[in-house]
Chains A and B, each alone.
Chain A
Amino acid sequence: MNPQIRRRHFLSMVGVGALGTTALAACSDDGGAGEEAPEGPVELRMTVWTASEDHLGLFQEIADAYVADHPDEVSAVTFETIPFDGYTTSLTTQLAGGNPPDLAWIFESNAPEFVQSGALVDVRETLSSTEGYDFEDVGETALELWQDGDALYAYPFSNSPFVMFVNTDRIAGSGQPNPADLVASDGWTYDAARDISAASAAALGGAGLVVRDFDYMNWTNLATVWGGWDAEPWSADGATSEFDSPEMVDALEWFHDAIFTQNAIPGPGTSADFFAGDTTMTITQISRASSLDGSFAWDIVPLPAGPTQQQNIVGQAGVGVLAAGKNPQAAANFLAYFTNPENSASLSLYFPPPRESLLNPETLAAGNPVFSEPQLGIVIDSISGATTKPSHANFAQVDTTARGALDAMWTPDADVAAVAADVSEAIQPLLEA
């Protein structure tokens, strides 16, 4: 046989094989949404970022009770833990791969993106029409982020406020005023927190004040600081950057000064962990209290007041029904059961609930035994009137771009106002996109 012909024959076989494999791959796409509702009971899957056995045990208990009550509708509910870091990436990869979960936890920062993209199903009708659901009990402000017009795309099951954890051993050891006393005397300000932190770090070593999880990367956590200056990174409609506003520049200058001039906040590349006992105070959510091991005395106080105001901040998490899932209505029905008043009370053991009837020290005390009743009062007060951390429909790109541009600020001689202007200029096109 002519070698030319043989090669052509071989190549044509490869081509046919490739086309055949492509066709098989195309045919094997199950399509996800749009399939007709199955006749028999279905299996549901919910992605979560908690790996706590207590949390997962409670979820499974609720799910098993639902399956027992609705054997014709749902045969099983599984809870799939995806690591916190990269959770949204893994979730969207599942969507891209044609393997969407039926329900998913969603970070507040990604809420507008999920709400506006059509990735989630409107669950308002299902929730509000479910008998005994008492939809009016869910705080309107808690729902804001998850609504678009009359549609509600997720239930904000967790509203965990940011507070200041204080190592009172280090306060006493460095002879500094107790923040709780300053709260009582209206002297609890960011300047006071900075001065106490700097003095205690100078006297005892270790670190002063840490905005936990900021790590010079997760800049949205600084919302817990700039709220005191009434600053926002962008306008309420998300279209205009306000990163270079005088309020934001003042807040960032205060923060920069606290790092590089006052040595009150550990600088970039420095490790400090409040829960290891070598840090005087840290801004974080109450759920972190589980890391306290009793090795030092501690307390919590509200976020300090800035020059303009005292602003409470909550970190929200929602649970929504994926439109691309195979059984959206069955998933919405399960969501209504999962978050009904009784199950919300159970969930509030671990997650501060959006239901106003459950926001009381007695309910929260059951799930947060490390807190005293007055401390739980601070937790509840920190939820009221709180805003959420920054979020945007184009959050991922805005977040990455702002983080890159902000890196120039974390040097001792940085021109804070100029860097803030650069950040503003960099994110403006992305806010409009």
Chain B
Amino acid sequence: MTSITTAQPDRPQRRSAWRRRDAATGYAFVAPAVIGAIAFVIVPLGAVIWYSLHEWNVLANTFTFVGAENYQHMLDDAALHDSLIASLWFSIGVVAVNISLALFLAVLLNQRLPGTTLFRVLFFTPVVVSLVAWTIVWGFLLQADNGINGFLAEFGVTGPNWLRNNVTAMIAVVVVQVFKNVGLNMVLFLSALQSVPEEIQEAARLDGAGAWRRFFAITLPMISPTMLLVAILTVVGSLETFALIDVLTDGGPGTSTTVLVFYLYRQAFEFNQFGYASAISVLLFVIVLALTLLQWQTRKRWVFHES
């Protein structure tokens, strides 16, 4: 009895010590990731929000608190509104073309035919090519009198001056962006397609379902989790496109391809309006976050296993 009464208070203490040790070990494991996130995500994000409340002129070395003035300025800034519209068109174009083309290629290259491996490599190669090198090459291809137009001229066709017309310039940047990254989405879709159980397809076939029916009723729902991933990655990627615009069109002609990130860059690093640029980057963050959350919240309606 005595031994029991003396042992009882000791057991919780020992358990508590184990828990502390467990907790310390756990914190040690997550510390690198948490410190990294704090240093490279949370602190910069906080700093950007703080900067957005200031007028910061690096030349004059002034840093003045202006409250919500930068955010109010966004409402009157016609150029910002133009860049939002350009971003909208660019993102719609990239997301629609990229996802449909990637899925189409994945379905094609999922067939057991000779040469599919070669085509998979060909379509994936642009993903590993330097973006700037890729864009410079396209810059030559899209010249008024060379490249694609030179090829068309061989057949007596006069091609448009791709990068000097508002509409064709937007089409050009969308196409160049899509061709650069479509291989990555194609590989993701390929992987998803190959994980669709063959027995389900076989059962549907025995039930008399045709190829289209099997694709829409079985394949698409089964790969919908990958579709969600690809959609989120492509939307975020399209909203963050910068180097392509900088190298290929410099935001022109006019402001037709000045997407939000490019406008933000211009405000910060060309106009030295770091405070206002910070406010725009907060706007971009909110847009990206809202679109990602929207896709995440609506997943239950269309993603298999999520309903």
Pairwise interchain contact B164-A269, C-beta atoms closer than 8 A: yes
Taking a contact as CB atoms closer than 8 A, the residue among B43, B59, B163, B251 that contacts A269 in the complex is B163
Using A25-B43, A269-B145 as known contacts, say yes or no to A405 and B163 having CB atoms under 8 A apart: no
Pairwise interchain contact A22-B46, C-beta atoms closer than 8 A: yes
Pairwise interchain contact A400-B270, C-beta atoms closer than 8 A: yes
**Minimum Cβ distance to chain A for residue B54 (Å):** 12
A117 within 8 A of B: yes
Which A residues are in CB contact (< 8 Å) with B253?
Answer: 404, 407-408, 410
Pairwise interchain contact A96-B274, C-beta atoms closer than 8 A: yes
Pairwise interchain contact A404-B270, C-beta atoms closer than 8 A: no
Pairwise interchain contact A118-B144, C-beta atoms closer than 8 A: no
Pairwise interchain contact A403-B164, C-beta atoms closer than 8 A: no
Which A residues are in CB contact (< 8 Å) with B255?
Answer: 404
Give the docked Cα–Cα distance between A117 and B273 (Å). 13
Residue of B nearest to A34 (CB): B61
Which A residues are in CB contact (< 8 Å) with B254?
Answer: 404-405, 407-408
What is the interface size of chain A, counting residues whose CB is below 8 A from a CB of the partner? 38
Which A residues are in CB contact (< 8 Å) with B46?
Answer: 18, 22
Stretch of A87-95, A122-130, A138-146, A330-338 with 4 or more beta carbons under 8 angstroms from chain B: A87-95
Pairwise interchain contact A271-B146, C-beta atoms closer than 8 A: yes
**Minimum Cβ distance to chain A for residue B139 (Å):** 10
Interface size for chain B: under 10, 10 to 19, 20 to 34, or 35 or more residues?
35 or more
Residue of A nearest to B51 (CB): A96
Which residues 71-111 of B sit at the A interface, judged by CB distance below 8 A? none
Residue of B nearest to A268 (CB): B164
Using A21-B39, A269-B143, A405-B254 as known contacts, say yes or no to A117 and B57 having CB atoms under 8 A apart: yes
Using A18-B43, A21-B39, A397-B271 as known contacts, say yes or no to A267 and B144 having CB atoms under 8 A apart: yes
Which B residues are in CB contact (< 8 Å) with A253?
Answer: none
Give the docked Cα–Cα distance between A114 and B19 (Å). 61
Pairwise interchain contact A92-B269, C-beta atoms closer than 8 A: yes
Pairwise interchain contact A407-B164, C-beta atoms closer than 8 A: yes
Which B residues are in CB contact (< 8 Å) with A217?
Answer: 250, 252
Which residues 116-172 of B sit at the A interface, judged by CB distance below 8 A? 142-146, 161-164
Pairwise interchain contact B272-A396, C-beta atoms closer than 8 A: yes
Taking a contact as CB atoms closer than 8 A, the residue among B59, B145, B251 that contacts A92 in the complex is B59
Using A18-B38, A407-B164, A407-B254 as known contacts, say yes or no to A92 and B144 having CB atoms under 8 A apart: no
Bitwise, A400-420 to B at CB < 8 A (1) or not (0) is: 100111011011000000000
Most buried by B among A14, A216, A400: A400
A204 within 8 A of B: no
Pairwise interchain contact A21-B43, C-beta atoms closer than 8 A: yes
Give the docked Cα–Cα distance between A353 and B89 (Å). 51
Pairwise interchain contact B144-A117, C-beta atoms closer than 8 A: no
A270 within 8 A of B: yes
Pairwise interchain contact B252-A17, C-beta atoms closer than 8 A: no
Most buried by B among A96, A113, A324: A96
**Minimum Cβ distance to chain A for residue B25 (Å):** 15
B35 within 8 A of A: yes
B60 within 8 A of A: yes
Which A residues are in CB contact (< 8 Å) with B146?
Answer: 271
Pairwise interchain contact A271-B143, C-beta atoms closer than 8 A: yes
Which B residues are in CB contact (< 8 Å) with A1?
Answer: 19
Most buried by A among B19, B56, B60: B60
Give the docked Cα–Cα distance between A408 and B254 (Å). 7
Which residues 157-179 of A sit at the B interface, judged by CB distance below 8 A? none
Which B residues are in CB contact (< 8 Å) with A21?
Answer: 38-39, 43
**Minimum Cβ distance to chain B for residue A173 (Å):** 22
Bitwise, B19-49 to A at CB < 8 A (1) or not (0) is: 1000000000000001100110011001100
7 contacts between A and B (CB under 8 A): A18-B43, A92-B59, A92-B269, A117-B57, A119-B59, A267-B161, A270-B143
Name A residues whose Cβ lies closer than 8 Å to a Cβ of B.
1, 14, 17-18, 21-22, 25, 32-33, 89, 92-93, 95-96, 113-114, 117-119, 216-217, 267-271, 323-324, 396-397, 400, 403-405, 407-408, 410-411
Q: Besides A96-B58, A96-B274, A268-B144, 19 other CB < 8 A contacts?
A: A1-B19, A17-B35, A18-B43, A22-B47, A25-B43, A32-B61, A89-B270, A217-B250, A269-B142, A270-B143, A271-B143, A396-B271, A400-B271, A403-B252, A404-B253, A404-B258, A405-B254, A407-B252, A411-B164
